[in-house]
Structure 1
Amino acid sequence: MGIVRRQGLRNTIISYIGLGLGFVNTTLVLPNFLEPQQLGLTATLSTIAMVYAQIAALGFASVGIRFFPYFRNREVGHHGFLPLLIGVPLLGFAVVTVLYFVGEPLMLHWYADDAALLQPYYAWGAVLALFMLLYSLQDAYLKALYHTAFSSFIQDVVQRLLIVAGALLYAHGTLTFSGYVLWFVGVNGTISLLLTGYLTYIKELHVRPTRAAFRIRPLRELLSVGGFTLLGSLSGSIIMYIDTLMVGAQVNLAAAGIYGVAANISTALAIPARSLNKIAFPLLADYWKQQDMPRMADFYRRTTLLNTVIGCYLALGIGLNIDFIYSLMKSRYAEGIFVVLLLLGSRLFDSITGVNGLIVVTSPRYRYDLIFNVSLSILTVALNWFLIPKLGISGAAVAAVIAQVSINVARTWFVWYSYRLQPFTWRIPLVLGIAAAAALAAWLVPMVHSLLITMLIRSAVLTAVYGAVLLLTRAVPEVNTIVQNLGRKFRFKQN
């Protein structure tokens, strides 16, 4: 757990700095300077590019992390691993790009009511997809090298600062909206170049291809595993992002913008897990290679408990203060309050069920994850198709909740059934009980004349009750150890 603690701590600190910046982006900057329709356009373009990049990657980002332990040898440039990791997806990108432009009339027809707004930026979607592809492949390579903090800093801090800068330039008239969209695309190119520079700095930019890469693991095997991984990750993206696309198509881009803001607020719960997953993925791959099931089981339980503790706190903090959050933006965005609450519930459930997906994907039975994802992606599309016309953006949120809960129940059961690994101990219900008590104490705080003062008091009560009871009950031993160590250091400095 040593490397996980070091890298995880760095990633978590960076992620929470990014969380603050994300809050500024989501509540203070973008919804105040951009109309819902404009936010809906950038969200739709970004989602299309993300799916585009995933298809082009052919699953190689995940395959790279899974198989890198077999290539690892710095002295010989990891046997040409990086050129293989990037080269094959670039060929895939060329093919997908042709299909993307051939399919332009169909895509614009899907967004018939807003086609005139989307069409001028359609070609830039391909450029954005290329930047996202290159970033994801380099990020995967860094994960495999256990260098995750810098990519977290680039994605969670630098990218958000640059987006804020672009929005401020637009608000002051320096950029037109078209200029802001191009700025948004350029930001993704910038962070990709920064990762390339970092790889050069740490002397891991080995770009010379070698035939040894095909001897260590045949390309056919990599493509086979990548194909399954692609379908799985693509299905996962459908589950996670199809709601934004379908809201834009079935309602309008303005509704997609409102939904996107709500989804961004709820993503605060995903940050701790995302930070952990950057180091957990290659670590689990090593556990499988070594067949070290006891350490994997311990890792599964510890990380699930940690995610539960942090997830409960963030979910309650956001949910109890949702009125204050929405008071900081244009009034129309308040239509997304119920969406935030629904999505918080689904993301909290994801935290409580732990790294089940990563265990399945890195296991010998990784193909079964495809069955789960494909089935649930079909269910997600069907639910969105049925619920959005009836319930609007709330229908998309309900569909997302059902999909998230279903896939986590299925994966958790599968991991237990196949490998007798499960993440739950008596500490999980204890933490949930403590969270419920802290939530009740904070909710009982009466509303005062100021939403800001109410938010500060409720947050203070939530933090004090939740933190104190966690420490007193020793629900999370690692937290008590950290507090005791800090206390010793403080007393040492005093003496």
Structure 2
Amino acid sequence: MGIVFKQSFSNLVITYLGFAIGAINTLFLYARFLTDTYFGLVGVILATSAILMPLLAFGVPNTMIKFFSSYSDKKTQDGFLTMMLLLPLALIVPFGVFSYLANDAIAAFIGHRNEIAENYVWHIFLIALAMAYFEVFYSWSRVHMRSVFGNFMKEIFARLAVMILLFAVYFDYMSVETFLQALVGVYLLRTIIMKLYAYRLRMPGFGVSFPSNTRDILTYSILIILGGSTAVILLEVDKFMINQFIEIEKVAYYSVAVFIATVIAVPSRAMHQITYPMTAALLNARDKSGLAVLYQKSSLTLFITSGLIFVLIILNLNDLYLLLPESYRGGFYVVLLIGLAKLFDALLGNNNAILYNSDYYKAILFMGVLLAVGTILLNLYLIPKIGITGAALATFIAIFFYNLIKLLYVKAKLGLQPFTAETFKVVFLLLIVSAVFFALQFPFHPVLNIVLKSLLITIMYVGILYRFRISDDIFGVLSKYLNPKK
């Protein structure tokens, strides 16, 4: 796990830098440079594209990681990689034809509640296509244990480009309509750059035969579409459905609150870049003891880091909202509910990687489909009743039960569980820190208040972690800085 921690560090820095740029975009630039309506429209376009992405990718990103390490000879690997490049076209082509033939009907559906969304069907399709093939080429680099550049392109490139485009709108160098067209261009360019990098690592050997287990690959890919779609539906369908029931401006307010909560998931996103292929390799090698160690240590490390972020966000949220335009300040319960869901995700460590790369993936995929349907039904009921808080509550309920099922399923089938005595020590530590700092308020400017409170919380939290050596991996890292002579 120490190796995982070190390899994850570069991705962690990149991911946090990306989220910092995203925070500037989401919390300040979008909210001030675009109207609430157009900010909401961007949210709808990107959320709908994200929902389509797993379908258009045909499950290839997960399939590539699961099967690539099982092939030892170059010819078979080349045949497999060629197959991975072609598979997404099986759905991209028919989806493109359908979008062309049924453009008016799709536009009417998307713009049912907010007519402004009607004119962006092709924006959605092209961004979804770009997202799908980006993930294919990103997985191409990850199976060769090169994840840093891809993570940079995923977390920083698009956000930095969007920042430049937003300033161009603000200084009247481009219209909002041109900005939306340029947004499509950013995602397409990102995919092209990722493709060139992936081919630099290894050029595909076109014209070779497909692997002998092609049927197993196709079955897995088809089923993994369900799993990928389920995960995205749990995270993105709420924004799409808010657009269907209430004013599109609410998508903007909801997006800000969700972005704040999503910062909790940054450590998970960084660590999973390396733990996902490692988990696949351990499963292919049938190394159950190594898998158990990875499961528990990834859970503890992520719970410690994400738990600290959760506490920092919740205890500083009132001051943070004072920095935003007044219309964006009503999302406390959205942040709390989505934040708790993300914290539960972190607690499960590499649970998803275990399930999607094991022989038991079929059952959990179908369970996920049922929960995705449940999410949609919950949104249908709760959004009209309590607005964006209803969307957050629907997401929290769905993710809670989905994660609980996955946790119990891995325990039942593989005899593995992520919790140790240290897990409960971290729970107790989080409760103590929250209780100590809950009522503490400084009378200064919100930025200074956030800095002071965050510094005090972090010192107490990290100090207790170090003093009681709750995690060996984190203790080792802290020792390099707190006690460098040892």
After superposition, where does 1:14-413 map in structure 2 within 5 Å?
A: 14-73=14-73, 76=75, 78-112=77-111, 116-202=115-201, 204-211=202-209, 213-215=210-212, 217-218=213-214, 220-413=215-408
Alignment-derived partner of residue 410 in structure 2: 415
Using a 3 Å threshold, how does the CA distance of structure 1 residues 353 and 2 change in structure 2: closer, same or farther?
A: closer
Q: Is the 8 A contact 2:276 2:350 kept in 1?
A: no
**CA deviation after TM superposition for structure 1 residue 89, in Å:** 0.6
**CA deviation after TM superposition for structure 1 residue 114, in Å:** 5.3
SS of the counterpart of 1:448?
A: coil
Using a 3 Å threshold, how does the CA distance of structure 1 residues 5 and 205 change in structure 2: closer, same or farther?
A: farther
Amino acid at match of 1:483: L
Q: Give the Cα–Cα distance (whole angstroms) in 1 for the partners of residues 175 and 118 of structure 2.
A: 17
Q: Is the 8 A contact 1:21 1:161 kept in 2?
A: yes
**CA deviation after TM superposition for structure 1 residue 417, in Å:** 0.8
Q: Give the Cα–Cα distance (whole angstroms) in 2 for the partners of residues 268 and 103 of structure 1.
A: 38
Q: Is the 8 A contact 1:26 1:265 kept in 2?
A: no
Q: Which runs of 5+ in 2 are unaligned?
A: none
Q: Is the 8 A contact 1:321 1:455 kept in 2?
A: yes
Q: Does 1:6 align with 2:6?
A: yes
SS of the counterpart of 2:402?
A: helix
**CA deviation after TM superposition for structure 1 residue 254, in Å:** 0.9
SS of the counterpart of 1:71?
A: coil
Amino acid at match of 2:314: G
Q: Give the Cα–Cα distance (whole angstroms) in 1 for the partners of residues 205 and 166 of structure 2.
A: 36
- Please give the per-residue CA displacement for 1:403-422, whole angstroms capped at 9, x wherever unaligned: 11101111000100111100
SS of the counterpart of 1:230?
A: helix
Q: Give the Cα–Cα distance (whole angstroms) in 2 for the partners of residues 177 and 287 of structure 1.
A: 49
Q: Give the Cα–Cα distance (whole angstroms) in 2 for the partners of residues 451 and 119 of structure 1.
A: 40
Q: Give the Cα–Cα distance (whole angstroms) in 1 for the partners of residues 132 and 72 of structure 2.
A: 23
SS of the counterpart of 2:276?
A: helix
Q: Give the Cα–Cα distance (whole angstroms) in 1 for the partners of residues 284 and 110 of structure 2.
A: 47
Q: Give the Cα–Cα distance (whole angstroms) in 2 for the partners of residues 457 and 19 of structure 1.
A: 21
SS of the counterpart of 2:470?
A: coil
TM-score (ref. length: structure 1): 0.94
Q: Give the Cα–Cα distance (whole angstroms) in 2 for the partners of residues 232 and 405 of structure 1.
A: 16
Amino acid at match of 1:82: L
Q: Give the Cα–Cα distance (whole angstroms) in 2 for the partners of residues 391 and 106 of structure 1.
A: 29
Identity, % of aligned positions: 23
Q: Is the 8 A contact 1:443 1:458 kept in 2?
A: no
Q: Does 1:471 align with 2:470?
A: no
SS of the counterpart of 1:302?
A: helix
Q: Which runs of 5+ in 1 are unaligned?
A: none
Q: Is the 8 A contact 1:113 1:252 kept in 2?
A: no
**CA deviation after TM superposition for structure 1 residue 76, in Å:** 4.8
TM-score (ref. length: structure 2): 0.95
Q: Give the Cα–Cα distance (whole angstroms) in 1 for the partners of residues 3 and 208 of structure 2.
A: 30
When the two chains are superposed, the root-mean-square deviation of aligned CA atoms in Å is 1.9
**CA deviation after TM superposition for structure 1 residue 438, in Å:** 1.8
- Please give the per-residue CA displacement for 1:267-307, whole angstroms capped at 9, x wherever unaligned: 11111111111222211111111110000000000000001
Alignment-derived partner of residue 461 in structure 1: 456
Q: Is the 8 A contact 1:27 1:325 kept in 2?
A: no
**CA deviation after TM superposition for structure 1 residue 488, in Å:** 6.0
Amino acid at match of 2:109: W
Q: Give the Cα–Cα distance (whole angstroms) in 2 for the partners of residues 77 and 370 of structure 1.
A: 28
SS of the counterpart of 1:272?
A: helix
Of the three residues 425, 430, 433, the one matched with 1:435 is 430
**CA deviation after TM superposition for structure 1 residue 393, in Å:** 0.5
SS of the counterpart of 2:330?
A: helix
Q: Give the Cα–Cα distance (whole angstroms) in 2 for the partners of residues 114 and 185 of structure 1.
A: 24
Q: Give the Cα–Cα distance (whole angstroms) in 1 for the partners of residues 80 and 102 of structure 2.
A: 33
Amino acid at match of 2:139: A
